[in-house]
């Protein structure tokens, strides 16, 4: 039990800093640490809880670039996607899901990182944004990975860092809140988990606030590099935790 508490605290602290800096990725970073030893169901609940807590903290400290018109299609898509994801959770092989997501991030993000000029997507409008929000919602229901695909999409849209963060931060807040409510309603959150919330929340508090302060001082180009590098590293971690289990 003591080892579990340490692992949860370390994962929450590291993921909290990354989320404070980038506006997303708590689930992906924490899962890259927790997936090795923590029960998958417990890890999924803690990832959603930690991501939601971090987004609440960030929403109070970083409020730039907020635009309801840009955000609304993502939120509406997320409202559709989260219930789909939680319904699929018992049927989906978690290792196959993580390997597929990890492969996508490891292949695509470095290409974007090395490109001199990132491709820009202008087609699709709000309908495309809503579809991306739905995908993010499904991934949130499957384990708290709400931010990965919407973040890639906003980067390809060519949004500035404040606009991108405002969308991802508030989309994650809404999607993770709905995911947590759904987990509670489905009985995934048990009494035995409640004390562990008291480990995750304090462990991530200070790192999250530090991350938000670092974000304020970085440039547009540096922010894009950080986001794509984090997505690549998260993908590699997902592959490292899932592929050996699939091969076994």
pLDDT digits (tens, 9 = 90+) for 24-53: 778 878 877 887 788 878 888 898 899 889
Cα–Cα distance between 72 and 91 in angstroms, integer? 30
Count of beta carbons in the 10 Å neighbourhood of residue 17: 22
Residue 63 is predicted with a pLDDT of 63
Residue 235 confidence (pLDDT) above 90? no
In the chain, at which residue ranges do the beta strands (DSSP E only) sit?
none
pTM for this predicted structure:
0.76
Residue 223 or residue 7, greater confidence: 7
Reply yes or no on whether the pLDDT at 163 is more than 80.
Answer: yes
pLDDT value, residue 89: 75
Extract the tokens encoding 94.
């978690």
pLDDT of residue 62: 59
State how far the Cα of 185 lies from the Cα of 4, in Å rounded to an integer: 25
pLDDT, position 58 = 75
- Alpha carbon dihedral 123, 177, 25, 120, in 10-degree steps, equals 10
Does residue 150 contact residue 144 with C-beta atoms inside 8 Å? no
pLDDT at 64: 61
Cβ atoms 204, 13 nearer than 8 A: yes
Residue 122 burial (C-beta neighbours within 10 Å; 0-12, 13-18, 19+) = exposed
**CA-to-CA distance for 211 and 26, rounded, in angstroms?**
12
């Amino acid at each position: 039990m003591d080892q579990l508490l340490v692992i949860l605290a370390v994962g929450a602290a590291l993921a909290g800093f990354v989320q404070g800096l980038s506006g997303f990725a708590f689930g992906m970073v924490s899962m890259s640490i927790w997936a090795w030893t923590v029960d998958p169901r417990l890890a999924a609940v803690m990832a959603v809880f930690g991501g939601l807590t971090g987004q609440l903290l960030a929403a109070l400290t970083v409020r730039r670039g907020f635009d309801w018109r840009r955000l609304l299609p993502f939120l509406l898509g997320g409202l559709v996607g989260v219930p789909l994801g939680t319904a699929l959770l018992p049927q989906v092989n978690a290792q196959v899901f993580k390997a597929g997501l990890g492969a996508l991030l490891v292949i695509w993000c470095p290409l974007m990182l090395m490109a001199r000029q990132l491709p820009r997507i202008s087609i699709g409008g709000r309908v495309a944004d809503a579809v991306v929000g739905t995908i993010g919602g499904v991934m949130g229901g499957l384990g708290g990975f709400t931010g990965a695909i919407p973040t890639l999409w906003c980067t390809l849209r060519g949004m500035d860092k404040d606009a991108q963060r405002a969308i991802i931060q508030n989309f994650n807040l809404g999607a993770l809140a709905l995911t947590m409510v759904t987990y509670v309603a489905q009985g995934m959150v048990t009494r035995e988990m409640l004390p562990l919330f008291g480990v995750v929340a304090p462990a991530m508090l200070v790192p999250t606030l530090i991350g938000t302060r670092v974000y304020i001082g970085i440039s547009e180009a540096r922010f894009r590099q950080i986001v794509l590098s984090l997505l690549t590293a998260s993908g590699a971690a997902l592959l490292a935790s899932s592929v050996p289990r699939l091969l076994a």
